[in-house]
Amino acid sequence: MASRRSGPLTHPDQQDIDLSRVMAALSDPVRLGIVSALDGIDRGVPCCSLELPVGKSTASHHFRVLREAGVLLQSDEGTRRMNQVRRADLDARFPGLLDLALAHGREAPVQVR
């Protein structure tokens, strides 16, 4: 079965991460929950390991928004898309921002299986 993914994954470089895009990405409770669930995990976590309160296509949209804003690093390993928070890049670019956002997102409806 052929993959429906097209082209390589693109991520902004650290210096190109835009504050307004990061804030917009983190303003959604599901996306904030994804980041909260993944924060502190030093390895990539597959999308399917997250229990999300939305359908698959909506989940894909949320992951894409987070990746394009520079919040998540995604990579493909076989048929799985791995996700990791770009903690070091975000902390270097906007010190304290991620901690502040996550302090308000710990109750978000996402868990890692």
The domain made up of 15-112 has a fold known as: Arc Repressor Mutant, subunit A (1.10.10)
- Say if residue 2's pLDDT is above 50: no
Full-model pTM: 0.87
State the Cα–Cα distance between residues 34 and 72, nearest whole angstrom.
10
State the Cα–Cα distance between residues 19 and 58, nearest whole angstrom.
23
What is the average pLDDT value for the chain, to the nearest integer? 89
- Are 80 and 46 in contact, with CB atoms under 8 Å apart? yes
State the Cα–Cα distance between residues 86 and 96, nearest whole angstrom.
13
- In the chain, % of residues over pLDDT 70: 86
Q: What's the confidence (pLDDT) of residue 108?
A: 58
Q: What's the confidence (pLDDT) of residue 6?
A: 56
| Residue 50 C-beta-side C-alpha neighbours within 13 Å | 32
